[in-house]
Amino acid sequence: MDLSRASRIRLALSHAAADLADRATGLTRTGTDGGPGDVTEEAQRLVAAAEQVMQLAVLYDRRRGAPWAAIGEALGEVSKQTAHERYAEADKNVDEAIIEHWLTGDAGTAGLPSGAEASPETLTRLDEWTAERYRYVDVIDDDPDHQVSAGLTPMSTAEHAAMITAAEALLLKAAASGGPARHQALEIGYARRKVERYERLIADETAAPGITGTPLPELRERLAGARARLTEVKTGIPSREHPAT
């Protein structure tokens, strides 16, 4: 399932929260204190993990539409300007990292928070982690074995289009400052996602004629162009049958 950006950030938040809980549990034990200063060092790591949880919580609420004024109020009555100054850059950087991963599938994408890759392994691990912790308490959700994955949402057709638009800006930025290998990977991912875009539109238009505002023959022609472009960027050989879409 191709998850929405909000769900990817929520997964990263779940991952960070689980890591924080594990670290806190480790700090409660008294038999592993080590030498002088070791406990303070571990407490510092715990604080850093908590700060990561806070940052991802802010980014998640922002992706869900919370204005900076609401974020500032939740942070303890700080101004929206202060909230913006504190988290806006992280908001932009994480968003770009998610878009790049969406294009390339590279789990090592710079700046991508752990968990935001939304792999099946991540979903399974977090579901199992949560089910283990809540075995002895009442679970509100009807699906106790999928307490993390059950609340995630797929990417809508509208967000798919918005992601492609955002990817165009990322491609321009990569062309100016990135290496050729990275730029080609982004180009291939962008072309592949445009193919998916027209496939989704054709499916939507077939199911509900008129919903896309574009006739099926035109969508099929655009799909053919998108597929031709994907072949071009993969092989480096220009297509003569269909113009780039």
Residue 56 covered by a domain = yes
Q: Which residues pair with 3 in a beta bridge?
A: 154
Q: Are residues 214 and 144 in the same domain?
A: no
Q: Give the tens place of pLDDT for each residue, 128-171.
A: 999 888 765 565 556 788 889 999 999 999 999 999 999 999 99
Residue 245 covered by a domain = no
Alpha-carbon distance 31 to 188, whole Å? Answer: 53
Alpha-carbon distance 83 to 213, whole Å? Answer: 40
Taking the model in full, what pTM does it have?
0.89
Residue 242 covered by a domain = no
Residue 76, phi-psi category: left (phi > 0), alpha (psi -120 to 50), beta (remainder): left
Q: Are residues 118 and 14 in the same domain?
A: yes
State both tokens at 211.
């919903």
Give the chain's count of helices (H) and strands (E). 8, 0
Residue 74 covered by a domain = yes
Q: Are residues 127 and 83 in the same domain?
A: yes
Question: Count of domains in the chain?
Answer: 2
Q: Are residues 83 and 161 in the same domain?
A: no
Residue 40 covered by a domain = yes
Q: Give the tens place of pLDDT for each residue, 43-78.
A: 999 999 999 999 999 999 999 999 999 999 999 989
pLDDT for 136 equals 57
Q: Give the tens place of pLDDT for each residue, 197-213.
A: 999 999 999 999 999 99
Q: Per mean pLDDT, which range of 4-8, 139-143, 148-152, 192-196 is the poorest?
A: 139-143
Residue 207 covered by a domain = yes
